[in-house]
Structure 1
Amino acid sequence: MTASKTRKMLERCMLAVLLGTLNFVSIAAHAQTTVDLPAQTLALSLSQLARDGNVNILAPAALTANHDAPALSGTLTLVQALDRLLQGTGLTAQKRNESTYVIERLPAQSGTAPPLAAEALAVLPTIAVTAPAATEDLGFAARSSSFATRTDTPIADIPQSIEVLTPDVLESQRDESVTDALRNVSSMTIERAQTYTAQGTPYIRGFMAPVLINGLPVALTQSDIPLSLPAVALSRVEVLKGADSILAGSMDPGGIINVVTKTPQADPVHRLTVQTGSYGDWLGSLDLAGSILDDGKLTYRFVVSAEHADRNFIGYDGQRDFYVAPSIGWQDVQTRVVVGFEQHTSRVPVAPISLFLPGGPLQSSSPLGRPDDGFMSNSTSLYYDYTRKLAGSLTFHSKARYDAARQDFKAYALAQLSPGTSSVGIFNAQTDQIRQNQISLDNNLQMKIHTGSVKHTLLAGVAWSSDRYAQMPGNGPASAAALPSPQLPSIELQDIAKIPTETDVQATLYVQDQIAWGPLRVLLNLARSYVWTTHALPGSASNSAANWSPGIGIAYRMSDAVTVYANATHSFEPQYTFPAFDGRAPLPRVGRSVEAGVKLALLDDRLTATAALFRSRQSNPVQVDPTHPGFYVTSPDFAYRGVEFDMTGRLLPGWNVIASYAYSNLQTPDDEWGQLPAHVASLWTTYDFQSEPLRGWGMGFGIWARNRYNATDSQEAMHPVPGQARTDASLYYRARHWSTTLSVKNVFNHRLYGDYALRDVELQPGRLFYLSSSYDF
């Protein structure tokens, strides 16, 4: 064979290989898939398309921020879907490699996007990019959530009431803690008068609510870990109404709180914040984030915060707080992993508590105890969050968290007035030492399948947690002291009861199916939870309980703006720690809740609202046995029912609002009165001035109000706690790289009380001032 013939044969072989390669590229670019995207922002549509197509779409926020995308459904290629989403936007998608598309602005001389099929022949060097987060928020309004379903889901498609406090809400209010932020959500109550936790016990729809951090549950005695996080650590706070045992395992039927912390990201963040306020309060925080490598795959986050206050409004020693949280993340086309560490040390004064007397709460302007009464806590946490895309649409998700916590409590409690006088009080010294270690783990598999026009998102997994708990409560001798400024000695303990260490283990097996069929969405949940408790005391018996917890929800999109929904859920909570006099453990508390409502997405989805009717019932509750102290008896079933309304978003350019209202009442067989306010409403609104002379200036205004509710005094007689309203205001200026905010809490200096009272009632602060400034460098 001559050299020329050999050369021609080689050229033909190379051409065949090249054509085959181009044909493969063409097939990949034109592979068809079922697309089902609602009308929403362009950024969110591109994000969902990236996940469904298992590709990366780099969409800079500066290009997509002011564009909306039409509803898109049908069997389309990725190229066709991109062309339709970008039509009329002046943007185009450039293909960089087989799994990467970059959104760019069209050249000025070009009026239409060039077809992507032609671009497929020019493959540029590989770059590492990621799709925008599906949980993108629009100011106060949240578009979607990965909390309720463990997958990024538009909130309109979730057949359950879920409220999200976005970073813009948290920043605009300058909230001091998570519990401060939760007052924006309907049917939320924080009880601090009868608790040994620094931040109080949250209730939703009248029932104790479990608290999660980044989707992993924490023990009730460790709820302070997420609830006491400083504002700089928070990404968002989510509240899901009703039971959801695939998230929390055993629980009551009211709802769940999820606190989401900040994570590593490629977009750079360099923010320094300083704040000063009433009673010598000083706070400084630093938030840093960005890429470690040039390709953007390796990222980091570093958050640190420190606070010091001389005293609180009534004279207790002020708060001391230090928090540091470094984390690192890695993300490529198929893998995302985040590993982080948290260290939080704080000293928090006790909640100012007043004894409820027949004439009303005892008024005091000084501590009803010693100024150094309070909580000392220290927590150390390690966590990881790992996601891996497997074959096809199969995705594996694993996350775990370890918390080691210590809390020391020391305080005086005003038990009663000395007989025959109202100027001398009887005080009991109380202490509590808690040492706790908890491990939480969640592993699941997610898969998307299509059966004709019906789309399924299947989820199956197992959640496991182990909580080792040691407690040593103590009581000192009673002391008599003059009011209103008692002088009390240091607490000397005489009676210390060391409770044997116990270990609580919970395992939950769960499956979920999200069904989408045209405008119809169906959510099916089924969980099987197992709970075990063992004690370190030799010879002590172990306890266990298990139960099924099913749930179903249906949502129907009547239009792009209106969705109606309904759900029914089931929950259970073991009660073997409440022994009966006959030695038998009470049956688990069983909860059943039903809800129906409507969700609105108005003004191009920038204003969202949810209105709901609900009824949550609990069977087998226990109460203290009146004839056998130290034991418990089962009481009749009871239920809370009511109506809720929540609204968040932007009404007009520059005008943002978050508002809520809830009415609820207690239903019991003997018509007992409830100890929660029946009517609670909140409003917070901000306005950024739009005229050029005032550009950058803005103001905020808020009011939180409730009606009166019932409480029992020291003689077990019923009395009403008066209704009240609190008004807040702020004035701020925002420039490109810095901002300053002056906040005033309780503008009119009203006398305020907590939302729950039983013999004791919480006293809340009068007028407070805060001045804070942030600088982006």
Structure 2
Amino acid sequence: MYLHPSCLRAGTSTLALVLTTIAAPAFADEAADGAPQDVSSSEITVLGARSKDYKVDQLTTATRTGTSIMDVPQSIQFVPRDVIDDQQILDLTSALRNVSGIQAGTDAGNRSESFTIRGFRSSYYAIDSIMLSPAIETNDSYRDLANVERIEVLKGPASVLYGRGDPGGLINIVTKQPRFERGMNFSVQGGSNDFMRGQVDVTGPVDAAKTLAVRFIAAAQTGDTFRDVFQPYRRQFLSGSVLWQPTDRTRVIASLTYAHQKNQTDRGIVATTDADGDLVVNLPRERFLGEAWATTESSRYEFNYRIEHELADWLTVRQIGHYDEGKLDLFGINYGTSVAVNAITGARTVTRTAVEQHENNHNYDAQADMVARFSTGGIGHTVVFGGEYVKSYRFRTFARATLARIDIDNPEYGAQPGTFVLAADREVKSKSLSGYLQDQIDIGEHVNLLAGVRYDHAQQSDHGSTQYASDDKAWSPRVGVVFKPVPNVSLFADFTRSFQSKPEPTIDGKPIDPEKGKQYEAGIKAELFGGRLASTLSVYQLTRENVTQQDPNNVGYNINAGVQRSQGVEFDMSGAITPSVKVIANGAYTDATVRSSTDYAKGNKLIGVPKWSGSLWVTLEPVDGPLSRFGLGGGVVAASNRMGNLENTFSVGGYTRFDSSLWYKLADKVRLTVNVKNITNQYYIASTVSRAQITPGEGRSFLVGLSGGF
């Protein structure tokens, strides 16, 4: 019942040619140092805008119109590139600790990330406003941050503009875009557990008229982990993009990325029973219960393009296309749900099953819309009207084999799997056709309204050991109001709904009804210290129906877990207090429970959701004087007790983790940074899925980085 105190994805060749043309001479101003660009009409121009004080003024996620944060009637937060650099963040999960109400979800055996947002699990996110494939349940790899400009998080349902998605919120990763100023930056990092990483970013114009610009980004890393695994983690990432802007009214951008990763498959540790019969989590954080041959290898290609043209000063049309393709080869080990104790020797062992999985998937996404800005009777309107077509495919083979038990206290490795028995191949097909309409209404200087609606027609089939097809239709509305009593304060309220058709199989072959969510939210936004510091305080109630949950009695299948509700209070703050002091902070109170279910008791707490959580990060970097070459950062991440499973038969304890950063500017744009994470070496649990899949957090670690721009 507690955590033991002593532990607590046409034009590819052209793209490559253009990149080669620009790479050599692009050594001037640092690529990421461009000033924020105009966002009054273009969604493209806001992409890549950077803040140097942890504060972003306009975002695209909430409205797709580059609207000021103060005019958006919904809670939306961000993690700018400066925070990623100052904290030397290497993964998406760590970056999102800077946003209230977000916790780590399952890592799917150490292959990818998922999250808990406002109490609800989510494996989906968007890349430049394009959602991931609806046919995949779990991402096949971690997201590299080399080409990430910032991360935006829209709290609550986002179905009006984005369709599918989890109701807790939408994570939108905004990527770095080509610039018309030549530049190159680099970084090399090394640290604990033989970690090494190198990264380079080159951008600049191709022609003298500066109508064509390119950007090339590459990164590679390798290293062991704090876990006693046999295989190192290795990742390679490449990204190339082209921006063509023949006139002030036309912008075309295309990008191609490739990612490859190979790592040890690792399900973490297991809960055990103590002398009182209670389930506890007290195995050492480094304890590995797998085998050397259990590895995961994945690769992913993504191609995106975006065409935007201003037909008139008041009318812009856009067309967006996306294709991604992924491949996964996995050999893994699943653990049993109980630990046996030998009556004579006292040895504690857990059952294991070997699994082999191979998967191929691809996804097409096409969108077209228009943005119109006009006035009627002195009332301003910004209207977005468009449609989207998505077609996705996933094919998976799966096999199981017997595997010897392992002593969880004194593991001996070398066991080999028995004969693999193939399960039925699984083929998932998904397609949807959607239309959406949204109007932002400005009534004078003090009142802004937002209203929108989306219609989705989603069809899915899942053929495997069970076979079914679904054909779902739904309307998703959104309404909100902003009242600004004074220029730097906004009061807001909103109501939103979400819709998501689920492809997951059930033991009886019947599809789970589409998941629906609805949220009521109200709050206040304020800009302080002369507009340098942005803050948001919000309260919400979010209800989710037809929740898909892993079937506890049938591995590989799912059940309808009924109705769940999350309600709470969240606070976020980011920006600069003075030119020398920057801060990003958050706090959340989250009450997330089961409201009705045939499988779980009403009132049960949701998995991995702390009632209290938050983080604080502050940096001090003098702008002049004898210490102006130095910078110092420090922070804390904390969370209270969390339930380890939906049955609420065990929990993992709260924790408080301290991190720090110190850097010295060797030159104007070259700096040496040293980070220490988990300074006190506290034992804590990062995430939990069940008593047989628990992910411990890393102990004290060091990271040294040299970065610069030319």
TM bucket (normalised to shorter chain) is 0.7 to 0.9
8 Å contact from structure 1 (residues 216, 441) kept in 2: no
- How many equivalent residue pairs? 653
**C-alpha deviation, 1:775, in angstroms:** 2.5
Identify which range, 682-691 or 255-264, moves more after superposition: 682-691
Instruction: Show the counterpart of 1:199.
Output: 112
1:137 touches 1:166 (CA, 8 Å); kept in 2? Answer: yes
Structure 1 residues 133-142 or 700-709, which shifts more?
133-142
Partner of 2:671: 739
Does 2:256 match 1:341?
yes
Deviation at 1:584, TM superposition (A): 5.1
Match 2:38 to one of 33, 37, 47: 47
Q: CA deviation at 1:557?
A: 1.2
| Matched AA of 2:522 | A
CA distance in 1, matches of 2:552, 2:180: 61
- Where do 1:65-104 residues align within 5 Å? none
Alpha carbons of structure 1 residues 712 and 568: separation in structure 2 relative to 1, 3 Å: closer
> Mapping of 1:652-663 within 5 angstroms?
652-663=578-589
Contact map agreement 2:675 2:702 (CA 8 A) in 1: yes
Match of 1:427 in 2: 352
CA 1:553 to 1:422, structure 2 compared with 1: closer, same or farther past 3 Å?
A: farther
Residues 510, 652 of structure 1: CA spacing in aligned structure 2 closer, same or farther, 3 A cutoff? same
Match of 2:331 among 396, 410, 415: 410
How far 1:171 sits from its partner (Å)? 0.9
Partner of 2:54: 140
Question: 1:352 offset after TM fit, Å?
Answer: 5.5
Whether 2:68 is the aligned partner of 1:154: answer yes
Offset of residue 283 of structure 1: 0.7
Deviation at 1:572, TM superposition (A): 1.8
1:765 aligns with 2:698: yes
Give the TM-score normalised by the residue count of structure 1. 0.79
Contact 1:324 1:344 in 2 (8 A): yes
Residues 635-694 of structure 1: CA deviation (Å, up to 9, x unaligned): 542211000000000012211110011111124253223332111111111110345221
Alignment of 1:624-635 (within 5 A): 634-635=560-561
Q: What stretches of structure 1 of length at least 5 have no aligned partner?
A: 1-42, 55-129
Quote how far apart the aligned CAs of 1:222 are. Answer: 5.5
Corresponding residue to 1:470 among 387, 392, 395: 395
CA distance in 2, matches of 1:180, 1:689: 26
Indicate the larger mover: 407-416 or 172-181: 407-416
Which piece of structure 1 moves more, 288-297 or 310-319?
Answer: 310-319
1:318 aligns with 2:244: no
1:687 aligns with 2:608: no
Matching of residue 456 in structure 1 with residue 386 in structure 2: no
Q: Aligned to 1:231, what secondary structure does the other structure show?
A: coil
1:398 aligns with 2:310: no
Q: Distance in 1 between matches of 2:143 and 2:664?
A: 26
How far apart are residue 623 of structure 1 and its match? 5.5
Q: Tell me how far 1:573 sits from its aligned partner.
A: 2.1
- Alignment of structure 1 residues 526-605 onto 2, 5 Å: 526-534=453-461, 542-575=469-502, 577-579=504-506, 581=508, 585-605=511-531
Secondary structure of the structure 1 residue equivalent to 2:364: strand
Shift of 1:394: 1.4
C-alpha separation between the residues in 1 aligned to 2:168 and 2:620? 34
Alpha-carbon displacement from aligned partner over 1:184-230 (angstroms, at most 9, x marks no partner): 1111122126x357223222112233311110010267687697333
Residue 290 (1) aligns with residue 204 (2):
yes
699, 704, 708: which one aligns with 2:632: 699
Amino acid at match of 1:340: S
Distance in 2, matches of 1:588 and 1:203, equals 20
- For the pair shown, the structure with the greater C-alpha radius of gyration is 1
Per the TM alignment, residue 309 of structure 1 is displaced from its structure 2 partner at its CA by 1.2
- Paired AA for residue 612 in structure 1: S
User: Could you say which residue in structure 2 is the equivalent of 1:208?
Assistant: 121
Superposition CA RMSD, Å: 2.8
For residue 647 of structure 1, what is the aligned residue in structure 2?
A: 573
Q: How does 1:483-562 map to 2 (within 5 A)?
A: 483=408, 484-491=410-417, 493-518=419-444, 519-534=446-461, 542-562=469-489
Matches of 2:191 and 2:578, distance apart in 1: 32
> What is the aligned-residue identity percentage?
24
Structure 1 distance, partners of 2:624, 2:80, is 26
User: In the aligned structure 2, how far is the partner of 1:228 from the partner of 1:657?
Assistant: 27
Distance 1:324 1:437, change over 3 A: same
Change (3 A) 1:223 1:397: farther
SS of 1:571's partner is: strand
State how 1:92-131 maps to structure 2 within 5 Å. Answer: none
Maintained 8 Å contact 1:184/1:682: yes
Q: Deviations over 1:70-91 (max 9, x none)?
A: xxxxxxxxxxxxxxxxxxxxxx
2:515 and 2:415 map into 1 onto residues whose CA distance is 43
Deviates more, 1:505-514 or 1:472-481: 472-481
**Aligned residues of 1:211 and 1:226 also touching (Cα < 8 A):** no
CA pair 215-493 structure 1, distance change in 2 beyond 3 A = farther
CA distances 1:114-139 after superposition (whole Å, capped 9, x unpaired) = xxxxxxxxxxxxxxxx9887955352
Cα pair 2:47 2:174 within 8 Å, conserved: no
Tell me the amino acid that sits aligned with residue 399 of structure 1: I
Q: 1:493 to 1:226 in 2, by over 3 A?
A: closer
Counterpart residue number, 2:654: 723
**CA distance in 1: counterparts of 2:560 and 2:257, whole angstroms:** 41
Q: Which amino acid aligns with 2:106?
A: R
1:281-340 deviation digits (Å, cap 9, x = unpaired): 111111000111112111010000011114544334221111111111111211101112
In structure 2, what is the Cα distance between the partners aligned to 1:623 and 1:382? 32
Q: Which has the higher contact order (CA 8 A, sep 6+)?
A: 2
Residue 383 in structure 1 maps to residue 296 in structure 2: no
The amino acid across from 2:192 in the alignment is S
- The alignment partner of 1:164 has SS state of strand
CA contact (8 A) 1:351 1:763 kept: no
State the distance in 1 between where 2:625 and 2:449 align: 49
* Larger helix proportion of the pair: 1
The answer (yes or no) to whether the contact 2:496–2:518 under 8 Å persists in 1 is yes
Unaligned runs of 5+ in 2: 1-34, 275-279, 597-601
1:89 matched residue in structure 2:
none
Single out whichever of 443-452 and 222-231 deviates more from structure 2: 222-231
Counterpart of 2:126, as a letter, is: L
- Shift in Å, 1:531: 1.1
CA distance in 2, matches of 1:182, 1:409: 27
Q: Give the alignment partner of residue 167 of structure 1, picking from 81, 106, 109.
A: 81
Q: What is the alpha-carbon distance in structure 1 between the residues aligned to residue 135 and residue 557 of structure 2?
A: 21
Pick from 339, 343, 363: which aligns with 2:283?
Answer: 363
Task: Quickly say closer, same or farther: Cα 1:144–1:226, change in 2 above 3 A.
Answer: farther
Distance 1:632 1:255 in 2: 22
SS in 2 for 1:272: strand
Contact 1:314 1:352 in 2 (8 A): no
Cα 1:503–1:197, aligned 2, differ >3 Å: closer, same or farther?
farther
| Residue 98 of structure 1: aligned partner | none
Cα distance in 2, alignment partners of residues 132 and 307 from structure 1:
30
The 1-side partners of 2:317 and 2:87 are apart by 38
Give the distance between the partners of 1:446 and 1:665, measured in 2 at CA. Answer: 38
Question: Does the CA contact (< 8 Å) of 1:279 and 1:313 recur in 2?
Answer: no
TM-score (norm. length: structure 2): 0.86
Letter in 2 for 1:282: M
